[in-house]
Structure 1
Amino acid sequence: MFENFIIPPIGLSYVAASLKKEGIDVEILDANALQMTWEQLEKELESRGKVDVIGVTGMTPTIDRTYRTAQIARKHCKHLILGGPHGTICTDQTFDDCPEVDIIVLHEGEVTAPILIKKLENGEDIDDVRGIAFRKDGKIVKTERRDLIQDLDSISQPARELLPMDKYRYPIGKHKKISVIITSRGCPYKCIFCNKTMFGQMWRARSAKNVVDEIENVYRTYGIKSFIFYDDLFVTDKNRAIEICQGIIDRKLNIEWKCECRVNLVDKELLTKMREAGCILISYGVESANQKSLDFLNKGITVEQIRTAFKLSKEVGIEKMAYLIIGIPGESKEDAMRTITFAEEIDADYVQISILTPMKNTPLFDVANEKGWIVSKYAKNPYDQELTERHVLATGDIPEEDLEKLMKDAHRKFLLTPKYLFKTVKRVRSLNQIKNVMITGTQYLKWLKSKN
C-alpha cells in the first residue's frame, strides 16, 4: 500500500453522520488508515466485544480484501451489512462469494441505513425497507428501490470526528494532511467503460454555499489545507463551479485542491478562477490519442479539445494528470504507443496508464461478453499486492502480456526521463513534498521491477 496515498472512507462517514443524527451509536474503524494487519484487525474487534451491526464497504477492484474483512468482522456482530458500489452492481454474486454478508444496502445509504438498523435493533421484519437485499429462507430478496437523494444539501456533513484525520495523505501537494469533499453525485455522460449504478446518470449537486461551508469547517476544525474534490465531475455546471471558487476566495481559505474534469467543459475564465481559489491539479480523462478509440469509448470529446484543455491549464498554472487507457478494441500496438507519446506532446505533469477493463453493468462489459472477449484471471492488485479477480479483454488485437509490458514501459518512459525528473525537483516546495517524491518513487520502482 502507498503510505502517502490514504483516502478517508467518505461514504462510510456520510452514513455514520446520518446514523448519529437519528440517535444511533456508531463508530468507524478505519483499519486501512491505521495500517492494521489482519491479525491486528481481529484483535481490535475482539477487544470491543460483540456488537449489533458491523458495516463494511466494498469496491470491485479490492473486493477480495472486503470479503476477508467481512469474514473477520462477522464473528463479532449479530448482523453484517455491506455497502458500496460492488454490492449494488453485483448483488447476487456478492451473496454467493461472501456468505458472511447478511444484508446489502443498495445505492445511497444515508436514508436507508438508519431505517434498517432501527428495524434490526427492534427485531422487526425488514421486508418493507426500501433499497436493500438480504437472505431469507435460502433465497435472495431485493426490496423496492429507494429513490436517489435529490436535495444533497439536506445530508449531514460526513462524521469526520469518527476518523483518524491525521492519517490521510495524497502524494501530490505541499501539505501533509488531506480531506475529501464530494460536491455532486452522478454523471450525465455515457462513456461505455464507466458504471453509474451507484449514483445514477442524473447529475445532482450541492449548493455552492453548502460546499464552501464544509470546506471551511474542515479547514478551521482540523487545520487541513489540502482537499480532493471527489466528484465524478467537478465542472458539470460552470457557474456553480465559479461560485464555489469565489466562496473559497471570499472567505480567505488558504487551501490547495485537486479535482477531475472533462476536457470539453473547461475554458480560460473557469481555469483562471479555479487557480485563484487554490486548484493545483486537474485530472483529465484523456483515455486515448486516437479519435477512433475515443469514439468507441463514447467519450464525446476530440483530440483537439484535449490539447486545448492541457494548454489552457498550463497557462494558468494548474498541473495536469492524464488518465490514459490502452488495450481498446481495434487498437494496434502502434495506436497504443501513440497514446503514450501523446502524454508528452500535451505536456502532462502526471500520467496514470490503465489497461481497459470491462466492469460489470457497463455497456463495455455487455459488448465484450457478447463477442466472447472476456477472460477472468487473478492478479495482484498494485494497491495492496493481494490477489484479486479481474476481467480482461482478449480481443486478439494486442496480447495481454504485451499490454502489461507496454504499460510498464510507458510509465518507465514517462517517469524516468530527464524532463520529468527536472519537473519533479522543480515543484518541490516543502519537506512533505520531498517525502512524497521519495515514497512514491520507491513504490513505482518496485512495481516497475515486478513481474506481475
Structure 2
Amino acid sequence: MNVLLISANQLNEPYPVYPLGLDYVAGALADRHRVRILDLNQTASMTDLETAIRDSVPDVVGISLRNADNTDVSQPVGFMAGYTELVQTIRRATAAPVVLGGSGFTIFPTETMEALQADYGIMGEGERLPLLLDALSRDDDPAAVEGVVVRGRPAKTPSPWPSATLRRFDPHGDHLDYYLKTGGILNLQTKRGCPFRCVYCTYPHIEGHRMRLLDPPSIARTAVKLQDAGARYLFVTDSAFNADPAHSIEVARALRKAGLTIPWGAFFAPTAPPPDYFRIMADCGLSHVEFGTESLSNPVLAAYGKPFNRKAVLDAHRMAREAGLHTAHYLLFGGPGETGRTLTETLDHVERLERCVVFMFCGMRIYPHTRLYDLAVAQGQIRAGQNLISPVFYRSPDIDATRIMETIHARSRGRINWVVGAGSPETTTITARMYRKGYSGPLWEYLCR
C-alpha cells in the first residue's frame, strides 16, 4: 500500500520537535509498504497540503497527534480545531481511510475519534499500523487488532509493543530541512516505558511501566546518521534518560565510540547519581541537563509521587554543574500538597541554585489514567468520566493560582534565568532570530546566571 504519514504538531515553543515517532512507524511499514512523511511545519498552507496528498495517491493516511493542547494554564491554546481542519483537507483530497495515532490520541482516543470523525485509531505505539493494514486487506475486523480503535466502539488500552522497534530515518525526507534550518535539533530514543509513578504523568499509560532498553550501539549508529544528515544538536526524548543509570552510561559511551561530535542533551530525574555520573556524561558529549524537579519542598515532592527529595535535587544539580554542564530545572506549582509555606520553601531554595535556568509553571493538567485524575474526582474538581480533551487543571485546595502567580512574578523580577510559563512572545521572536543567525540547540543556556 501507499501509506502517507502526517505529523500534525505545530507547537514550536521552546523549539521545534522532530516527529520521531513517525520514523518508527515508517520502520515498521518499510518492508511491505511505500511510505511518505508530510509535516505541517513544512507545509505553507492547507491548499499546498491538499495538493501534496493528491500527489501521494495514498491508500491510507495516518496522522500523528502529539498533543491535544499546549498544557499552559496561563496561555492556553487548544489544537483540536486545527486537527479538524486537517482531517477535512484530507477528506477533500482522498477517499483513503484516516488513521489517528500518537500520544495525544492515546490519552483521548474516544473523544478524538468522535471530534475528528476518523476511520480508525491506534492507541500506544504506532508499530501496530501494519497489523491494521493486514486486517483491512483481508477484510478482517480491525477492532480485533490489539490497540486499534474503531469509531463507535470501546477503546481498550493495549499492552506495550512486544516486538523489536526499527527506526527508519530518511536523510532526504521532505520534512527534514525545516528542523535543520530551525535550530538544527534532531532527536533520539534510548528506551520506552517509565518505572516512575508521578501523580500526573501519562508516560506509563502510553508506553507502560516496564522499561524496554534499546541497544546502545544501534542508538549510536542512528545518532551518527542524524549528525551526517546535518543535525547540530541531539535531544534524547526519554521521559528520564537516567531512569536506568547503567544503560544511560552505556548509551553515552556508545555515542562517543561511534564518533558523535555534536552536543546533545536529555531530560533527567534529579535522583542521586552514581559517582562521577555527570563527568562521564560530559566526557561523552552531553552538554545540557534538563531536570524534571517540579518542587524543592519535600512534602510536595512526596505528594507528586517523585522518586527523589530536595537533597537529591541539590546533589544532582551540584554534580552536573561541577561537570561543566548547562543545567535547567522545571518546576510545577499548585499541585497536590502545595501551600503558601511550600511555595516559599521552593522559591527560597531556587534562589540558591547557581548557574542554571528555571522554568516555572503553575497548574497540573488533569489527564485520564493518572492518580491525579482519581484525586481530582475524589476532591470534586472534576466528574468521573468527564471529557477532558479541553484542558482542566488541578488546583491545590490550600493556595489559589492567583496568589501563586503573583508570588512567582514578584520573586522572579529582575531574574532573566527564571522563565515563568511558556515565555513571552518576545522570547519566541528572539529564539527565531538566533536560529536564523545560525545558533543551534535549545539556547536556554544563554540565560544562565
Q: What TM-score comes out, normalization by structure 1 length?
A: 0.79
Q: Which residue number corresponds to residue 92 of structure 1? A: 110
How far the C-alpha of 1:170 sits from its partner, in A, is: 10
How far the C-alpha of 1:349 sits from its partner, in A, is: 1.9
Instruction: Please give the alpha-carbon distance, in whole angstroms, between the structure 1 residues aligned to 2:355 and 2:340.
Output: 21
Query: Aligned with 1:301: secondary structure?
Result: coil
Q: Which residue number corresponds to residue 299 of structure 2? A: 292
Amino acid at match of 1:303: R
Judge conservation of contact 1:57–1:66 (CA < 8 Å) in 2.
no
Judge conservation of contact 1:150–1:204 (CA < 8 Å) in 2.
no
Does residue 365 of the first structure (1) align with residue 373 of the second (2)? yes
Instruction: Please give the alpha-carbon distance, in whole angstroms, between the structure 2 residues aligned to 1:264 and 1:170.
Output: 35
Match of 2:205 among 193, 197, 206: 197
1:281-320 counterparts in 2 under 5 A? 281-320=288-327
Q: Which runs of 5+ in 1 are unaligned?
A: 376-387, 418-423, 445-452
Instruction: Please give the alpha-carbon distance, in whole angstroms, between the structure 2 residues aligned to 1:225 and 1:435.
Output: 10
Query: Aligned with 2:150: secondary structure?
Result: strand
Amino acid at match of 1:177: G
Judge conservation of contact 1:329–1:395 (CA < 8 Å) in 2.
yes
Query: Aligned with 1:284: secondary structure?
Result: strand
Match of 1:259 among 266, 284, 292: 266
Does residue 167 of the first structure (1) align with residue 178 of the second (2)? yes
Judge conservation of contact 1:108–1:148 (CA < 8 Å) in 2.
yes
Match of 1:82 among 91, 100, 103: 100
Amino acid at match of 2:209: Q
Distance 1:390 1:311, change over 3 A: same
How far the C-alpha of 1:19 sits from its partner, in A, is: 1.2
Q: Which residue number corresponds to residue 269 of structure 1? A: 276
Amino acid at match of 1:7: V
Amino acid at match of 1:393: Y
Match of 1:26 among 28, 35, 43: 35
Distance 1:57 1:160, change over 3 A: farther
Amino acid at match of 1:140: R
How far the C-alpha of 1:250 sits from its partner, in A, is: 2.4
Judge conservation of contact 1:374–1:394 (CA < 8 Å) in 2.
no
Amino acid at match of 2:353: I
How far the C-alpha of 1:316 sits from its partner, in A, is: 0.5
Match of 1:212 among 211, 220, 224: 220
Judge conservation of contact 1:267–1:312 (CA < 8 Å) in 2.
no
Report the aligned-residue RMSD: 3.3
Q: Which residue number corresponds to residue 118 of structure 2? A: 101
Amino acid at match of 1:96: E
Distance 1:400 1:436, change over 3 A: farther
Once the two structures are aligned, what percentage of the paired residues are identical? Answer: 22
Distance 1:257 1:411, change over 3 A: farther
Distance 1:55 1:241, change over 3 A: same
Amino acid at match of 2:28: S
Q: 1:394-424: per-residue Cα shift (whole Å, max 9, x none)? A: 444333344455555566553278xxxxxx9
Does residue 243 of the first structure (1) align with residue 250 of the second (2)? yes
Q: Which residue number corresponds to residue 15 of structure 2? A: 5
Match of 2:87 among 60, 67, 70: 70
How far the C-alpha of 1:268 sits from its partner, in A, is: 4.1
Judge conservation of contact 2:50–2:92 (CA < 8 Å) in 1.
no
Q: Which residue number corresponds to residue 448 of structure 1? A: none
Q: What TM-score comes out, normalization by structure 2 length?
A: 0.80
Match of 1:280 among 269, 279, 287: 287
Distance 1:76 1:432, change over 3 A: closer
Q: Which runs of 5+ in 2 are unaligned?
A: 1-10, 71-78, 384-388, 419-426
Instruction: Please give the alpha-carbon distance, in whole angstroms, between the structure 2 residues aligned to 1:4 and 1:194.
Output: 20
Judge conservation of contact 1:5–1:168 (CA < 8 Å) in 2.
no
Amino acid at match of 1:104: G
Q: Which residue number corresponds to residue 386 of structure 2? A: none
Match of 1:117 among 127, 133, 154: 133
